[in-house]
């Protein structure tokens, strides 16, 4: 259970009255002159995210008024946990338009803090939910916090080995099988592109291919793939400093995959689940892959490295080929793949790509249900030949004329992806600015919607 959400508390809990703007007048008509006056004095108008602590006779906090605005978006409750002082609270009233579980979810996501490197930090508020079964919601909150912790952890403390250890820990918890191919064994194991991208890193940061399998073989095979670049210097086509600054987050796809995998395993979804997580550092050394090098790939297609900074699609090429060997009914990949995705849609709206119309529609529906926005972009065939190489089967940096970098990256992946249902998510995994409930730094995207999709499809 998430530490932010409790089934019961042994201390007194403060009641929260969550009010939409439309409910405010009738609510204020039902309370004492004192509270009504206090709310007016403090300008409480139930605007989305407004928090007002109301005092009792002794001057201590007796209750909380929380504004829900138009009452349509439960995610405003992220701001509540970010703004409340430390203590235990319970929800006394909330607008009929909202679902209790969604509120709990938002409270849990909004209360996330990354304090690993802070000498002191406050425990923060907790929501007590007596009598409610919020097990599933708590698992989602917990999984998202794991992904965010991984993404926020600096590359110096989270390399490919640390990702492996986290994956091994998870496998142990859920009784999954795990196999890891490390360093030069990637060559004999036929993951040449994973090896090429990661081979320049120091030996204790050697590249590796992590494969975790869980669930009965009788269940449908679902494969999740995630980009695990623990740091992206850009390689020899080195990134400018501003761009490199955030590249500890380039394993965001891998963190998302572990989080989604954990949701699936923790809720015992009847699927045969495989997690494929290539974990590498895109480093610079005498052994680094060079611009112009031609790599082999697991699929057998040769890849010309036009730019060593387009490394994510290289490791995903091998991982997606592996996915196809597992007879998947569904393959999903998540990756912080391109800066172009952010240019197209900004940091809050990750694009997804699939040619499966039914899957596309279901992703959209489930994402909306989960209040976890995504936006479809096309696998536009007109840009496929922007990936043509003069000397190899394909190249990793598309011609400039095609411009749409997130689309051409997705088209590159499509060459390697299974022919059965496949969708690719080009996530940003980051809040560039802090808002109450959205701490700056790591953010999860798409996986809550995808969890809904997996639950709908397979349970
Ligand atoms: N990890 C980056 C993409 C990225 C950059 C994601 C900034 C989020 C924020 C990726 O490996 C990369 O460098 N992509 C290049 C590709 C280009 C060289 C073809 C990009 O997007 O510029
Ligand atoms: Mn890169
Ligand atoms: Zn990258």
Residue 1 has pLDDT above 80, yes or no: no
Segment 316-324 mean pLDDT: 99
- 417: domain CATH number is 3.40.630.10
Final residue in a domain of this structure, among 79, 108, 133: 133
Instruction: Label residue 2 by pLDDT band (50, 70, 90).
Output: confident
Looking at the structure, do residues 158 and 24 belong to the same domain, yes or no?
A: no
Give the pLDDT confidence score for residue 9 in this predicted structure: 87
What's the pLDDT score for residue 226? 98
Report, as an integer, the average pLDDT of 4-15: 90
What does the block give as tokens for 13?
């809990």
Residue closest to 327 by CA, chosen among 444, 183, 408, 223: 223
pLDDT digits (tens, 9 = 90+) for 81-111: 999 999 999 999 999 999 999 999 999 999 9
82 plus 158 within the same structural domain? no
| Active site amino acids | 239, 313
Rounded to a whole number of angstroms, the CA Rg of the chain reads 24
- Check residue 8 and give its pLDDT: 87
Which of 310, 345, 386 most suits a substitution to test ligand 1, by most atoms within 8 Å of the C-beta?
310
Residues 6+ apart with CB under 8 A from 351: 341, 344, 345, 374, 375, 376, 377, 406, 425, 426
Query: What is the share, in percent, of the chain residues with pLDDT greater than 90?
Result: 96
Does ligand 1 lie within 6 Å of residue 87's CB atom?
Answer: no
Among residues 89, 104, 133, the one where a domain terminates is 133
When pLDDT is averaged across residues 430-438 and rounded to a whole number, the result is 97
Same domain, 82 and 187: no
Sheet holding 394-395, edge to edge: 294-295, 303-304, 394-395
Spacing, Cα 233 to ligand 3 middle (Å): 8
Residue 11: the pLDDT is: 86
Q: From CA 294, how far away is CA 352, in angstroms rounded? A: 29
Joined together, the tokens standing for residue 341 give 């995705």
| pLDDT at residue 255 in the model | 99
Range of the domain at 91: 5-133
Same domain, 123 and 238: no
In this predicted structure, what is the pLDDT of residue 72? 94
Out of 98, 133, 168, a domain closes at 133
Tokens standing for residue 360: 């596309």
Hey, what are 457's tokens?
Answer: 């499809």
**Ligand with smallest separation from the Cα of 342:** 1
What integer pLDDT is reported at residue 10 of this predicted model? 85
Region 370-386 average pLDDT = 98
For the beta carbon of residue 10, count every other beta carbon within 10 angstroms.
7
Alpha-helical (H) ranges within 24-99 are: 24-30, 33-41, 77-83
Judge if 174 and 247 occupy the same domain: yes
Shared-domain flag, residues 128 and 171: no
Identify the sign of the CA torsion 440, 444, 448, 453: positive
The residue-averaged pLDDT of 353-358 equals: 98
Q: What is the pLDDT of residue 3?
A: 82
User: Do 212 and 291 fall within a single domain?
Assistant: yes
DSSP state string for 106-155: HHHHHT----TT-S-----EEEE-TT---HHHHHHHHHHHHHHHHHHS-T
Quickly state the pLDDT bin for 334 (edges 50, 70, 90): very high
Q: Is the CB of 142 under 6 A from ligand 1?
A: no
Coil, helix or strand at residue 394: strand
Q: Is the same domain home to 50 and 166?
A: no
Co-location of 89 and 172 in the same domain: no
- Laid out side by side, the sheet with 87-93 consists of 5-6, 125-128, 87-93, 14-19, 61-67, 51-55
Are 127 and 192 found together in one domain? no
Burial 195-228 (b: 16+ CB within 10 A, else e): bbbbbbbeeebbbbbbbbbbbeeeeebbbbbbbb
Rounded to two decimals, what is the model's pTM? 0.98
Q: What is the mean pLDDT of the chain?
A: 97
Report how far ligand 2's centroid is from the alpha carbon of 260 (Å).
24
Q: Is the same domain home to 243 and 355?
A: yes
Let me know if 149 is exposed, middle or buried by CB neighbors in 10 A (0-12, 13-18, 19+). middle
Rounded mean pLDDT, 414-438: 98
Say whether both 379 and 297 belong to one domain.
Answer: yes
Half-sphere exposure of 123 (CA within 13 A, CB side): 10
- Least confident span in 121-125, 408-412, 422-426: 121-125
Query: What share of the chain has pLDDT > 70, as a percent?
Result: 100
**Residues 432-436: what's their mean pLDDT?**
96
CA 254, chain centre distance (Å): 9
pLDDT per position as a tens digit, 140-199 = 999 999 999 999 999 999 999 999 999 999 999 999 999 999 999 999 999 999 999 999
Domain count of the chain? 2
Q: Which ligand lies nearest to the CA atom of residue 235 in the structure?
A: 2
Could you tell me if residue 143 is left (phi over 0), alpha (psi between -120 and 50 degrees) or otherwise beta?
Answer: alpha
């Amino acid at each position: 259970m998430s530490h932010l959400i409790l089934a019961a508390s042994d201390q007194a809990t403060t009641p929260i009255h969550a009010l939409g703007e439309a409910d405010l007048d009738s609510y204020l008509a039902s309370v004492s002159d004192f509270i009504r006056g206090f709310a007016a004095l403090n300008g409480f108008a139930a605007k989305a995210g407004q928090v007002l602590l109301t005092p009792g006779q002794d001057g201590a906090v007796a209750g909380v008024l929380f504004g829900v605005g138009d009452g349509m978006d439960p995610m405003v409750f992220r701001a509540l946990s970010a703004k409340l002082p430390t203590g235990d609270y319970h929800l006394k009233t909330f607008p009929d338009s909202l679902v209790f579980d969604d509120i709990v979810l938002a409270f849990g996501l909004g209360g996330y803090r990354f304090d690993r490197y802070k000498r002191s930090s406050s425990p923060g508020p907790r929501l007590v939910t007596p009598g409610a079964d919020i097990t599933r919601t708590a698992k989602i909150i917990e999984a998202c916090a794991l992904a965010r912790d991984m993404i926020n952890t600096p590359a110096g403390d989270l390399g490919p080995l640390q990702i492996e250890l986290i994956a091994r820990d998870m496998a142990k918890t859920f009784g999954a099988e795990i196999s890891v191919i490390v360093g030069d064994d990637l060559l004999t194991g036929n993951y040449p592109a994973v090896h090429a991208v990661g081979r320049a890193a120091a030996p204790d940061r050697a590249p590796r291919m992590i494969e975790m399998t869980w669930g009965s073989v009788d269940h449908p095979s679902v494969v999740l793939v995630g980009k695990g670049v623990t740091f992206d210097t850009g390689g020899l086509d080195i990134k400018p400093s501003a761009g490199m600054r955030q590249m500890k987050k380039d394993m965001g796809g891998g963190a998302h995959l572990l989080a989604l995998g954990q949701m699936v395993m923790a809720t015992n979804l009847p699927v045969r689940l495989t997690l494929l997580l290539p974990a590498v550092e895109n480093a610079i050394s005498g052994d680094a892959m060079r611009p112009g090098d031609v790599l082999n790939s697991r699929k057998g297609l040769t890849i010309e490295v036009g730019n060593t900074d387009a490394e994510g699609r290289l490791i995903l090429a091998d991982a997606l080929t592996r996915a196809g060997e597992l007879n998947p009914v569904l393959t999903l990949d998540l990756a912080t793949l391109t800066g172009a995705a952010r240019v197209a849609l900004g940091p809050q709206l990750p694009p997804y790509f699939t040619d499966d119309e039914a899957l596309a529609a279901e992703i959209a529906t489930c994402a909306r249900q989960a209040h976890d926005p995504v936006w479809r972009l096309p696998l536009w065939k007109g840009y496929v030949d922007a990936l043509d190489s003069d000397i190899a089967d394909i190249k990793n940096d598309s011609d400039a004329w095609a411009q749409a970098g997130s689309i051409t990256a997705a088209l590159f992946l499509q060459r390697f992806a299974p022919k059965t249902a496949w969708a690719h998510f080009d996530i940003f995994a980051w809040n560039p600015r802090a808002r109450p409930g959205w701490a700056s730094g790591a953010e999860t995207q798409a996986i809550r919607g995808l969890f809904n999709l997996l639950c709908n499809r397979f349970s």
